[in-house]
């Protein structure tokens, strides 16, 4: 890849990232989903918890759509040649549902772990698409955190683990917002510097 093409690709990733507001409405929606699952753990046995988790996972995207405006994250309006990769990566996590279904039936107590890991798989691609280091780091940190919690705190698999995932979602959203602000400041600095050079 030539230097010019690499620079153009990086610029487009950052432009798309800023235009979409980092898509942070979706991780915030994910956080709400996982907080709801933590609360549900007080009322449901593992089998019913897994069923509720499966059913309500389909609400994350619609909730993200509703949160676009209040969070200044118009990810559906932002257009880019790169957007197809992001959408396909999100769609690809649904290919795991047959595996989840088997686990939910055979070992429902494993549902929090399989969901937490399975719903992380698209984050590296999202990070690449946006040029977001925070999104990429989120995937690896989340995989490590939920794995450690799973083995270290078996009594917290249905409440502490979901709350940890929710917290990581919110940290990722905050980190991506910080990245966007940094990119905007950098762009404004370049524009101001160019204007001063012309003057």
pLDDT tens per residue, range 106-116: 999 999 999 99
198 compared with 22, residue with greater pLDDT: 22
**pTM of the complete model:** 0.90
Q: Name the residue range of residue 116's domain.
A: 3-198
The total domain count for the chain is 1
Statement: residue 196 has pLDDT above 70: no
**Token duo for residue 88:** 């396909």
pLDDT tens column, 123-181: 999 999 999 999 999 999 999 999 999 999 999 999 999 999 999 999 999 999 999 99
Q: What angle do CA 62, 67, 118 make, to 5 degrees?
A: 55
Place of tokens 């370049």: 190
Please provide residue 171's backbone torsions phi and psi, each rounded to the nearest 5 degrees. -65, -40
Residue owning tokens 């699952």: 37
The pLDDT > 70 percentage for the chain reads 93
Q: Are 112 and 162 in contact (CB under 8 A)?
A: yes
| DSSP letter assigned to residue 188 | H
Quick one: tokens of 80? 């880019």
Residue owning tokens 């059913």: 55
């Amino acid at each position: 890849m030539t230097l010019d093409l690499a620079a153009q690709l990086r610029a487009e990733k950052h432009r798309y990232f800023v235009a979409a507001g980092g898509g942070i409405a979706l991780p915030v929606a994910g956080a709400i989903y996982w907080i709801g699952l933590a609360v549900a753990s007080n009322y449901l046995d593992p089998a019913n918890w897994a069923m509720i988790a499966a059913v309500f996972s389909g609400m994350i995207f619609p909730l993200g759509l509703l949160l676009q405006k209040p969070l200044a994250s118009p990810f559906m309006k932002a257009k880019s040649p790169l957007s197809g990769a992001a959408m396909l990566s999100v769609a690809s996590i649904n290919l795991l549902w047959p595996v989840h279904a088997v686990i939910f039936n055979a070992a429902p107590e494993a549902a929090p772990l399989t969901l937490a890991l399975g719903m992380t798989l698209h984050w590296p691609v999202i990070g690449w698409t946006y040029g977001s280091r925070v999104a990429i780091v989120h995937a690896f940190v989340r995989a490590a955190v939920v794995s450690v919690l799973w083995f270290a705190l078996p009594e917290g698999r249905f409440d502490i683990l979901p709350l940890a995932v929710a917290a990581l979602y919110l940290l990722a959203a905050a980190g991506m917002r910080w990245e966007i602000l940094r990119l905007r400041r950098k762009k404004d600095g370049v524009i101001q510097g160019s204007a001063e050079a012309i003057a």
